[in-house]
Amino acid sequence: MASFRVKGGNHLKGEIIPQGAKNEALQILCAVLLTPEKVTIHKIPNIRDVNKLIELLGDMGVKVTKLGPESYSFQADDVNLDYLETDEFLQKASALRGSVMILGPLLARFGTGKLSKPGGDKIGRRRMDTHFFGFQKLGAKFRYDSKNEIFHIDGKHLKGAYMLLDEASVTGTANIVMAAVLAEGKTTIYNAACEPYLQQLCDMLNRMGAKITGVGSNLLNIEGVEKLGGTEHKMLPDMIEIGSFIGLAAMTQSEITIKDAQIHRLGIIPDTFKRMGIHMEFRGDDIYIPSQKHYEIETFIDGSILTIADAIWPGFTPDLLSIVLVTATQAKGTVLVHQKMFESRLFFVDKLIDMGAQIILCDPHRATVIGLDRKYPLRGIRMTSPDIRAGVSLLIAALSANGTSIIDNIEQIDRGYQFIDQRLNALGAEIERI
């Protein structure tokens, strides 16, 4: 198990380029299974989860060619379906939650799918019902082997259908869309997720020959086609990295420019951080954050305490609530952070309290942060990263703290942030991998 040794108190300065979006990459990579033709993808982040999915595709028989540091070509013209029956496949797939999205393409093109219960962050229950509800509506039949935790799915005769999803699941919508593009007839998905990453997937599939309308809304219509062709695709910058860098700049009193942030695709993320009192300037598609000694959290119009809560897009993404929480510890003012979607995602707050933060954990979903305007800086401690987003929040806390911190289990951070230590060290941080 690797660790970071972090010396706090440095003010960072310079430019940083956000990586390609992890959550988009997991969808886009699975979509290469929908065609025997070559698909070229740019801006692929070099992170553990994405690399493991690329490795899994290669094991399945997809021809993978690395064209550059962030560019690959894929050609799924000789997929080995027998590999799905091996213990190796089940083990590799179960270690990666994003692998669930290979099911839609496998059902659409080959009529069969098999998968162990996926893993991923320990952030609470993340059920699979939406995925399987959609597959069933399209005519797939599945059974769950509870003893071995394996899903077996038969999708030989998928037909379009109307469905109203019980939740606007991003991965669930993506999986159903990929299954429906080759199904017979028309599919209508109501209460579909509409995040920019899903829009990217739909745009890519349309370039491949799919017929998807309503992209960007929660009502998608899909006319099934007989086959899809190849394409070239460039992924968006990771909005979670962008939000993390905004919070980092405020916490460490740093002057940072985030390059090519695709600001028009960030939704309310910039405005939410502005409500935290963080100044920023939009310079074309770059976000410039000046060094700030003080930043003050707004209140609601009637003077009551600001609440920041997660919601489905275009609401505030749950992946950035931990960044908001840690950033608030050194602000002036109070904020209630309400994590609605996952019941275990605030369970890193105890580490921040040990560092000296003034936080009341109200329940598994809500925390009140009392910002004391840097009067009591955080202090360095030893701590463990419980998941990707909490891990980078603890890293931000350590970079702002007095003294040295040790963060254990940084493999969690590596799952979502490529070379984060090297990139921040280039701005003046002191992070040592031990």
User: Quick one: pLDDT at residue 214?
Assistant: 98
The single residue of 49, 121, 310, 421 carrying the catalytic annotation is: 121
CA distance 28 to 434: 34
User: Quick one: pLDDT at residue 122?
Assistant: 43
For 232, the enclosing helix (H) or strand (E) is: strand 231-234
For 116, the enclosing helix (H) or strand (E) is: strand 112-116
Q: Tell me the mean pLDDT per 10 residues along the chain, length 434.
A: 95 98 96 98 95 96 97 97 90 84 96 74 56 94 81 91 95 97 98 97 98 98 98 98 98 98 97 98 98 97 96 94 97 96 84 97 95 95 90 97 97 91 98 96
* pTM, entire model: 0.93
Contact status, residue 88 vs residue 62, Cβ threshold 8 Å: no
User: Quick one: pLDDT at residue 342?
Assistant: 74
Q: Is the peptide bond before 45 cis (omega within 30 degrees of 0)?
A: no
Contact status, residue 188 vs residue 221, Cβ threshold 8 Å: yes
121 among known catalytic residues:
yes
Burial of 127 by CB count in 10 Å (0-12 exposed, 13-18 middle, 19+ buried)?
exposed
Helix axes 103-110 and 170-180, enclosed angle (nearest 10):
10
